[in-house]
Amino acid sequence: MNVRTAIAHIYKHKPTTPDEFRAAGVPLGKHLGAGVFREVLKVKGCPLVVKFPLDADWDCHEGVDHSALEMKKLARLKKFKWMRRFLPKIYYYDRKHGIIVMRYYELMTKHEFLFDIQFVRALIKHSTGVNISDYTWGNVGKGWKDCPVMIDCGY
């Protein structure tokens, strides 16, 4: 499956669970990880991942709120042209359910992550006014030419 086909299926069927993604013809594969607010699954056969909120029920919206905050920050950061290469490619966002479909980025190894984290956080805050407190090793992927891409900046 290619990216265009997968995204077309997602927009057509608007799935909200892993089972609904599979039923819509978007095969989910490897579980890439989970945090406090959501889990991430890779789409089989193409460079996409799906972030699912871990809300126990839809009365608890912490995972959905986390996704909304991340999308708001990404929109603010995207206004700065120089920041765009450090931001992930988002293909789909379901605001109601907190589903995010984005490009897959291989995580950097700890050895590759040689940045002064406090300096990077301060630089982003000073330059953009956006506080990125979650800029840590597990939340930064490798983009084109190994450029760091912030794949989770919800907090």
DSSP states along 6-52? HHHHHHHH---SHHHHHHTT--EEEEEEE-SSEEEEEETTSSEEEEE
pLDDT tens figures, 21-77: 999 999 999 999 888 888 999 999 999 999 999 875 555 678 899 999 999 999 999
| Domain boundaries along the sequence of the chain | 3-150
Q: Residue 122 and residue 102: Cα distance in Å, rounded?
A: 26
Amino acid at 76: R
Rounded to the nearest integer, the mean pLDDT of the chain is 87
CATH topology of domain 3-150: Phosphorylase Kinase; domain 1 (3.30.200)
Tell me what percent of the residues of the chain surpass a pLDDT of 90.
Answer: 52
Which pTM does this prediction carry? 0.78
pLDDT top residue among 113 and 83:
83
Amino acid at 23: A
